[in-house]
Structure 1
Amino acid sequence: MTVDLIVNPASGPDLRRVPRRDRVDFVSRALRAHGATTVRATVTTGQGDGLQAVRHALEAGTDRVVVWGGDGTLNEVAGAMLGTGLALGVVPGGSGNGLSRGLGLPQAPEAAVAVAMHGRARDIDSGLVSGRPFFNLAGVGFDAAVAERFNTRNLRRGLVPYVTSILQEWRTFEPRRFTITLDDHVPVVTEAHFVVVCNGQQYGHGARVAPDAAFDDGQFDVVAVPHITLSRLVRHGWRLFNGTLPAVPGVFTARARRVVVAHADALPIHLDGEVFDADTRRIFEVRPRSLRVMVP
């Protein structure tokens, strides 16, 4: 069995038992122990490397693609595998691992490799916006600003730097007026700190912004969170972690296959934690069961 391994050595916090420099050797040995006869490894150094690695794997012929990285790395690799029918194996290696946690994947590298090789193939939906795919969450507003700060102003990875980025953006980011159109329904206008279009449930670390979202139901869960005041944060912040965020007064939730989000000023968007150019209007469309991924 030929396995193409793609590793982002810079993603997520450093693991004591698997130093960054040893990630390729560690996973390669584990893959061979689970039946891989040939392992072709690629180490990414920047944006686009994961995409090229998948293209080369497809051209050369491969039985399985396995990726070690965070949600951003998974987004790039999975985007290149859409519609191929090949199963993607995932070794979670990011700061939050929202996609892998939502899929129920083990977070320990050894267990994740076992699932990547011997788990069950599951076909999940993907989203498309402005020609770019996403697989977990796409957000406009405060959460995109947090992602941009975390990605560009932090040398460290992990939960603590992410929380720090949230607090720093919270002090200055102002809510916006969003117009949200769901399928062919009348547009909804709402004041919100951010709007997130969800294929999956969570940002990572159990922070479930869309607790009822399913990866294979053919539709998005849309969540608009109102102005995050100190009072709301103290009274309701815990609800993000126990699956009751939709119960917070003022939180808007809906489901749709096609979503249009518009606002007066140009705002950046994050797709699975990676931030892209600012715009004033975006159309989100679901692509049912377009990615095959290995799950427990």
Structure 2
Amino acid sequence: MRRIALLTHPGAGRGRGARARSVVLPRLRDAGFEVLDLVGRDVDEARRLAGAAVADGVEALVACGGDGTVHLALQHVVPAGVPLGVVPAGTGNDLARELGLPADPRAAADRIIAGPRRTLDVARVGDRYVATVVACGFDALVAERADAMTWPRGPLRYVAATAVELRSLAPRRYTLELDGRVRTVEGVLAAVGNTSSFGGGLRITEGAEPDDGLLDVVVVRSLDRRGLVRAFPRLYRGTHTTHPAYEHHRVRSATIAAADITAYADGEPLGSLPLTVTAVPAALTVIA
């Protein structure tokens, strides 16, 4: 592998993505790689640059940023069968955390240079591919709120967004179709995970394995504000799975329906519910 592309978060003139790029780019070139340096001024330009690089035959596409940058890259590498590298430099970095990738950009570049490979599943929603978790409830409202915030930085942004959204917490009526089985439930949160965490380490779909060919569907049934505040710290530890309001299913396909929810995946908006999420086994090769 000698000709690769480095995709940095769109508009990364400053911040973590730019700092990581300034380390990773010379490190890869010093190791003998021909590196196409892709920095779009906005998401649309970054998308065009990534697509052109993959079509031109690069041997890997490296996403330097957070889960949103990974999500952008995923749309090109999965159909083309091109390996994905990840340099974690974003807000959540949940895929990098799942893969045990180092947070230090130099160490992450060295992992890409070493070139170990692993095959993962992805989730598919319509024509979009997802690496981590599709959020479909209170979790989606938090993601939407965090996406609009500029402060604080890092995972604390999700904590702040959660505090704001708790003020208007209300349960919703969900209709779930899980591998053809239909049920309804009142809940405050629903998520479909290919991996175990979202939002900077919230282990909502604890136990999810990204290479088992299945999706992990989690529903948190109706809780009041105080109950959710008490349960929230357990999400970081993955110990919420014993909570009486928690339920967990493993499926190949899930359709989630509820009113007034925009689903988020990899920290990016997907669209309004209902949505169908399908497992696509062994669809992604990662350098990890």
- Equivalence map 1:1-296=2 (5 Å): 1-8=2-9, 14-15=15-16, 21-36=18-33, 38-185=34-181, 187-233=182-228, 235-263=230-258, 265-279=259-273, 281-295=274-288
Q: CA offset at residue 230 of structure 1?
A: 4.1
Q: CA offset at residue 232 of structure 1?
A: 2.2
Opposite residue 157 of structure 1, the aligned amino acid is R
Q: CA offset at residue 23 of structure 1?
A: 4.2
TM-score by length of 2: 0.92
TM superposition outliers: structure 1 runs of 4+ over 4 Å: 20-23
The 1:245/1:34 distance shift into structure 2, 3 A limit, reads farther
Opposite residue 151 of structure 1, the aligned amino acid is D
TM-score by length of 1: 0.89
Question: Separation in 1 of the partners of 2:286 and 2:40?
Answer: 21
Per-residue CA distance 1:74-96 (angstroms, 9 max, x = gap)? 10111111132321111001111
The 1:84/1:131 distance shift into structure 2, 3 A limit, reads closer
Q: CA offset at residue 227 of structure 1?
A: 3.4
Does the CA-based 8 Å contact 2:252-2:278 persist in structure 1? yes
Percent of aligned pairs with the same amino acid: 31
Q: What SS class does the counterpart of residue 107 from structure 1 fall into?
A: coil
Corresponding residue pairs, total: 286
Per-residue CA distance 1:170-201 (angstroms, 9 max, x = gap)? 1113110101111022x222111121000000
Question: Separation in 2 of the partners of 1:21 and 1:201?
Answer: 28
Opposite residue 86 of structure 1, the aligned amino acid is V
RMSD (Å), alpha carbons: 2.0
Does the CA-based 8 Å contact 2:66-2:88 persist in structure 1? yes
Does the CA-based 8 Å contact 2:8-2:64 persist in structure 1? yes
Q: What SS class does the counterpart of residue 53 from structure 2 fall into?
A: helix
